[in-house]
Structure formats: C-alpha cells, structure tokens
Structure 1
Amino acid sequence: MKNQIQNLIKKAYSAFNSRDIDTALSTFHLDVQWPKAFEGGYVTGHDAIREYWTRQWTEINPNVEPIGFNERQNETFEVTVHQIVKDLQGNLLFDGMVKHIYVIEDNLLRRMDIELEQTIKN
C-alpha cells in the first residue's frame, strides 16, 4: 500500500509542477479538501481546486518536489517537500522544506494539510 500511495503522490506533484491540472485532479478524491497555502482556509472539490490553482499561477510560480515519505501512526501520510516559489518575474519568494500531510480515502488524496518546518530559537 505504501508504494501505491507514494506513486499516487509523485504523480500528483509531477502533474502540479507541469501545470497539468487534469492529471493532478485524477489523483484526488471528488470531495478533496485542499489548503489555500498563501491565503488561508481550504477549497473543496475538483472545480474549486482548478479555479484556485489557475488563479494562483497568475500570481506565483510554485514548484514542489517530494523528497521524503513517512506513514504516520494516525493513518495519515507525511510527505516532506522542497518547495520553491518565485514571482512571475523569477524572483525567489520562498525556498524551503515543508511537510504535506495527506489523508487517503478510496486510494485517492482526500485532504492535504501543511506543516511548516519550525526551528526553535533560545
């Protein structure tokens, strides 16, 4: 099951990075909940995600590469990603590691949450 989920997630990220919305959505449950990372809140369903991404890509150019996978005890799936976000002129806005936490339902991505890597300073 773990390899199947990893392959599903890799397919979703590859499609996202190449701006192939239909292929990305084929990995999502019909009632998927997706975070609006730069705005807050969530969008639900394929049409809302299509609209959100289409609008997002007119403002920023994100690229997200999965580099680590971890099945959590609470039956969620953690993906460590290297995320690079540039503005449309190519200026770097963000370059860092982020954790995407997935709920899987019916072998599809049902919900994604974002956990930022945090460092504690004394």
Structure 2
Amino acid sequence: MQNADRRSTSILDTARMTLADRQRRLTALYTAFNRRDVATVLAALTPDVRWPNGWEGGTVTGHDEVAAYWRRQWEQLDPTVEPTAFDVEADGRVAVTVHQVVRDRNGTILVDHTVTHRYRFAGDLVAEMEIRD
C-alpha cells in the first residue's frame, strides 16, 4: 500500500506541473535532442508516444520507432531546434515556437524557419508531439 500512496502522490504532483515546469522540461529535451542524446529524450516520453515524422512523413509510435526515425534522419541531416516561446493552449497542450535550422551533412543550410511544436502531456511525460507550420 505504501507504494500505491507514493504513486498517487507522484501523479498528483505531476498534474500540477506549471507552464514554467513544462518549459524547463521541454527546454532540456531540446538541448538533449540537439546533442543527439536519444536516451535522455526518450526517458521523458511515454512508452507509446506519438511523434511526427517531419522528414519522411507520417507518424511514428513508441520509443523504438522514434529512436530509429531520429537515427535515420541524423545520418542524412543535421537539424538544430531552439525554443523561442512557450504557451499553454485551451486544450492544455503546450505550444512551443521553435527556430529550426536543418543542414545537410556538408553543412549547407537546407531549411531555416520558425514552426510551432504542440505537446500533449500524460502526467509529466510527453505523450504526443505535433508540428504546425
């Protein structure tokens, strides 16, 4: 019973995450992504996370598919994504405005633009990300 009590307290604590808490969490995830630290990013995602495949199209689901997608992408491209603004939307998702620069493996800039990433959380873990142009 003691573990159940701890678990429910943890769930209550994560339900109270503020925008500042989520901003810190997401900023750390972008930093880890830019370092290509897959393990750190995956640890902050639900096991069944839904993630957009912004490079090839479609959506990938779960840690294994997300990690494989990123590794394929990084073999061909060098993306850097920097958050510039955070907001909570009416449905509770966190919208992050990001400056994204994508280079080819020779360093030539292919994309330099601003987009919005929308995150849905389950407790303190990211359950879904969407890209909005």
Q: Which has the larger radius of gyration?
A: 2
Aligned residue in 2 for 1:68: 85
- Which one of the candidate residues 43, 53, 70 is aligned to 1:26? 43
Aligned residue in 2 for 1:95: 112
Tell me, yes or no, if structure 1 residue 112 matches structure 2 residue 112.
no
Distance in 1 separating the partners of 2:76 and 2:88: 33
Distance in 2 separating the partners of 1:90 and 1:26: 30
Tell me, yes or no, if structure 1 residue 55 matches structure 2 residue 72.
yes
- Which one of the candidate residues 28, 38, 42 is aligned to 2:59? 42
Deviation >3 Å, runs of 4+: none
| Amino acid across the alignment from 2:124 | N
| Amino acid across the alignment from 1:3 | A
> 1:29–1:108: 8 Å Cα contact kept in structure 2?
yes
> 2:19–2:87: 8 Å Cα contact kept in structure 1?
no
Offset of residue 65 of structure 1: 0.3
Distance in 2 separating the partners of 1:107 and 1:43: 20
Offset of residue 27 of structure 1: 1.2
User: What is the TM-score when the length of structure 2 is the normalising length?
Assistant: 0.85
Distance in 1 separating the partners of 2:79 and 2:70: 10
The aligned length equals: 116
Q: What's the secondary structure of 2:56's corresponding residue?
A: coil
Q: Which runs of 5+ in 1 are unaligned?
A: 117-122
Distance in 1 separating the partners of 2:42 and 2:115: 21
User: What is the TM-score when the length of structure 1 is the normalising length?
Assistant: 0.93
Offset of residue 29 of structure 1: 1.0
Question: Greater share of helix residues, 1 or 2?
Answer: 2
Aligned residue in 2 for 1:120: none
Aligned residue in 1 for 2:10: none
Distance in 2 separating the partners of 1:89 and 1:7: 32
